[in-house]
Structure 1
């Protein structure tokens, strides 16, 4: 690393540290030691980010991207829910909203939606949530999701004609909302960015950070998070997991997928499998 590259790295590191509450003092020390006035304008933004929360969402779907997006210097992250009451996830973790659906900024730079199981199914049939997503999604610069959150985006009419991904077990349902399924960890099609199942939220968050800032900024966030996946088992996809494990997990969705399919068809989406109505 050349002296110039080192100085650039230190500046972006200090910027990322400044956005991390638990390392704020370290950022202050770095800022004193290194000239921060030369920081490129692209390293600081003013994004308005709306992250939807709803009962029964998957906690990691939300937390992974939130950790990365909260590290964007100058950005404002809004935790959006129907009310200001605590939102309990599918694993009983409670999250506190910062703003209600009605109070959230009308013009968002990023709209993000997490996934889940029955909680997502309920959200897909909630007129208030769907209206919020349709309204903010029409104007948002970027519309994003993780896991079955993409199907919630789809239920709000935001994925028709876009390539997208979701949890592998619900991939086939993307066609019901008019999306083109793509088997990938993160899929970007114009201003739609969707992540695969659960842990893919970390990849999605890093991808957005790199897109809004630059690779060095995203790499700094990755290093701060020590995000270096090295799982003890190679079973993270249907192709790598033992066949009996894949079969067992797929069985877990045998009741859920038909419910979600029926919910979408009831809202006017066409499903070739069940000959449901055309939207």
Structure 2
């Protein structure tokens, strides 16, 4: 399995690092699953590993996936053939359970879910852009101007390298 975890500063570094990109491209043909959680679906996309695949990412960057040939999805976890991507940090738990079911069966995944007592009941409903107002979303975006600009630049550079 090839797994790339999230974290936007690391994502930017990996998107712009030719050695990381070469490593991912070299490992992908030997991987049963090619996966990522949170922003690092951008790293897979920058390596050309999501071209023609449906994928998701953190809400702040999911719109950049099509620049690099991926099919944008706003689902919490997306599996398209042997590519599995998850939205943000907490989607990593859902992602992990899905992957456990793929590798060891549903009963094993259900056992894990019970062992970690994963039964989410968030105290607020503010965890997805669809749950907040446009004005609240504008405020959230305003705090991300620099980071979103850097991420867009990295995605555009990757798209040029992929001849897209």
* Residue 224 (1) aligns with residue 109 (2): no
Larger Rg: 1
C-alpha displacement at 1:252, in angstroms? 2.6
1:1-279 superposed matches below 5 A? 110-267=1-158, 269-270=159-160, 278-279=163-164
Higher relative contact order (CA 8 A, sep 6+): 2
| Farther off after superposition, 255-264 or 127-136 | 255-264
Relative to structure 1, the CA distance from residue 277 to residue 196 in structure 2 (aligned partners, 3 Å threshold; closer, same or farther) is closer
8 A Cα contact 1:151 1:174, kept in partner: yes
**Where in structure 1 are there 5+ consecutive unaligned residues?**
1-109, 271-275
Cα distance in 2 for partners of 1:264, 1:203 equals 26
**Which sections of structure 2, spanning at least 5 residues, go unmatched?**
none
> Contact conserved, 1:163 with 1:179, CA < 8 A, in 2?
yes
How big is the shift at 1:157? 1.1
Distance 1:234 1:178, change over 3 A: same
Q: Could you give the per-residue CA deviations for residues 159-212 of structure 1, whole angstroms, max 9, x where no partner exists?
A: 011000001111110011100001101101110000011110000000011111
Partner of 1:187, secondary structure, is strand
Query: When the two structures are superposed, what TM-score results if normalisation uses the length of structure 1?
Result: 0.55
For 1:262 and 1:197, the matched residues in 2 are separated by 21
- Is the contact between residue 131 and residue 156 of structure 1 (CA under 8 Å) also seen in structure 2? yes
Instruction: Tell me how far apart the structure 2 counterparts of residues 161 and 253 of structure 1 sit (CA, whole Å).
Output: 28
By how many angstroms is 1:243 displaced? 4.3
Per-residue deviation, 1:246 = 2.5
C-alpha distance in 2 between matches for 1:259 and 1:201: 24
Higher helix content, 1 or 2? 2
Residue 5 of structure 1 corresponds to which residue in structure 2?
Answer: none
